[in-house]
Chain A
Amino acid sequence: MTDPVIELTEVGKSFGSNRVLRNISLTVGHGESFALIGSSGTGKSVAIKCILGLMRPDTGRISLFGRETGGRDAAMYDRIGMLFQEGALFDSMCVWHNVAFRLMRGERKLAPARAKEIAVRKLERVGLGAETADLYPSELSGGMKKRVGLARAIATDPELIFFDEPTTGLDPIRATMINDLIRGIVTESGATAVTITHDMGSVMKISNRAGLLHAGEIVWLGSSDTLKTESNPFIRQFVEGSSEGPISVAI
């Protein structure tokens, strides 16, 4: 494996008596596209929030870019892009302001005209025309919000991009479009990518390595190409979407 960008060593997190993460260890290398898969409520989002410093783990160590993270670090965030599940666009700002948010602040602090130019270019990259730049998030459909969120995540050409459930809530056609976009962006930028999802279509299309999280533990790690032929009972059940197997899910 190439230089690790993300390193988790025995990370644990509990909420009261509920142990959400149980000493998980994981490494994601430079340029790799990793997918963390698992059923709803297995701790995928908590794991990502711990990696991003939005949540403090109870035990273990997390390193990003070879440096141990100790919480919220603005310099570290400058190297990261994040696509949130619902887009998490700022309602009070128009689309291009959302995309250019980081461009107009901090050390970059670009002039509004230049920032808008870059924002429009990023919007075009995700398949949205310049006419959407002045719209507000409330005027966009779910798929458009995701794409604006994606444009915001890649606005500063980050080295590491997180995608939180990128296709959840989208119809199959739009889900395929988002998956194609993500794959294209990750490939052309050479960025390291981490995707949390339970959509196997996304896993196969976007990632080259995956890990299955179940009951707070990583029960399988391997190549995404072998997912369909894998004999591991957890991964078999997950890929087949069967109710029979070691993963018991309450409805």
Chain B
Amino acid sequence: MHRIVLSIRWVGRLTIRACAGVGRFTIFTAHAFSHVFRPPFYFRELLNAVLAIGYFSLPVVALTALFAGGALALQIYAGGSRFDAQATVPSVVAIGMVRELGPVLCGLMVAGRAASAIAAELATMKVTDQIDALTTLSTDPVKFLVTPRVVAAALVMPVLTGVGDILGIMGGYLVGVYRLGFNSAAYLQTTLQFLQRPDVTSGLAKAAVFGLIIALVGCYFGMNSGRGAKGVGRATTGAVAASSALIIASNYVLTEIFFPA
């Protein structure tokens, strides 16, 4: 009997903690969004965030997409050859990249790089009283630190994904033409022939949502970090783990919305 009561108490405590966390994150998100269209606007902070999240993530996104596209071409060729469907390589690589691999890989790469950097930066600012200092200098820390990062991430993620899509398809093309013996012109023609606008736009829309997740989660963990070096470390790892999991989960939901069975 005592064990049952303890178990129920444990489940209850866990549920309350989870609900409280979701509630706090929702309020935090609403607070950040409430400043998007309200002056003053911090354009300098926005530009810095665009550079930090977008420009500096470009190399890692480009490399990942290029090799993922190449590997995808090899896999589809190997799998397709079992039922004589090797010719589908160009179209499946293109559709696979722009719908799924492009946005998800880009999201995970940026989550690993930018969410951790945002969380570490804001957590350090919190530990060293810089966030309290902002408040005493008549500046809302969420407006100054969070909103520019959220807007920047939502703007640059589709651009990064677009670049990743192109490089992924190029990776597939290089492997298809120089390794698997496809005709160059035919490969490109098939790629363009089967690729439709909704394939591309849905992938870019997913990327924008992933951008919001990365920035919001990074900022939330940073602004709510514990004290000391341990607190900063926990905020950083927590931000990467939570944003990656949320990207994967939301990718499924968005795919259901864009391409219902």
Contacts and interface: CB of A to CB of B under 8 A. Distances in A.
Contacts of B128: 86, 88
B137 interface: yes
Nearest to A149: B133
Question: Quick one: which of B124, B135, B136 has the most chain A CB within 10 A?
Answer: B136
A86 B132 contact: no
A210 B227 CA distance: 30
B135 A72 contact: yes
A75 B136 CA distance: 10
A143 to B, nearest CB: 17
A54 B136 CA distance: 9
B133 A82 contact: yes
Contacts of A85: 129
Nearest to B127: A86
Contacts of B139: 74, 101-102, 105
A90 B137 CA distance: 12
Contacts of A105: 40, 137-139
B35 to A, nearest CB: 13
A152 B128 CA distance: 16
Interface string A52-93: 111000000000000000001011011011101110111110
Contacts of A75: 138
A77 B135 contact: yes
Contacts of B133: 82, 84, 88-90
A49 interface: yes
A80 B133 CA distance: 11
Contacts of A152: 137
A122 to B, nearest CB: 14
Nearest to A107: B138
Indicate the size class of the contact surface on chain A: 20 to 34
A74 B124 CA distance: 24
A106 interface: yes
Contacts of B135: 52-54, 72, 77
B130 interface: yes
Interface in B16-34: none
A81 B139 CA distance: 13
Contacts of A101: 137, 139
Given A88-B128, A88-B129, A105-B40, A82 B138 contact: no
A49 to B, nearest CB: 7
Contacts of B137: 77, 101-102, 105, 152
Contacts of B136: 52, 54, 77, 80-82
A193 to B, nearest CB: 15
A210 to B, nearest CB: 23
Nearest to B45: A92
A82 B134 CA distance: 11
Contact of B130 (A72, A74, A90): A90
Interface in A8-63: 49, 52-54
Contact of A84 (B124, B129, B138, B140): B129
Contacts of A52: 132, 135-136
A54 to B, nearest CB: 5
22 contacts: A52-B132, A54-B132, A54-B136, A72-B140, A74-B138, A74-B139, A77-B137, A81-B136, A82-B133, A82-B136, A84-B132, A85-B129, A89-B130, A89-B133, A91-B125, A101-B137, A102-B137, A102-B139, A105-B40, A105-B137, A105-B138, A105-B139
User: Nearest 6 CB-CB pairs, A to B?
Assistant: A88-B133, A88-B129, A77-B138, A74-B138, A82-B136, A84-B129
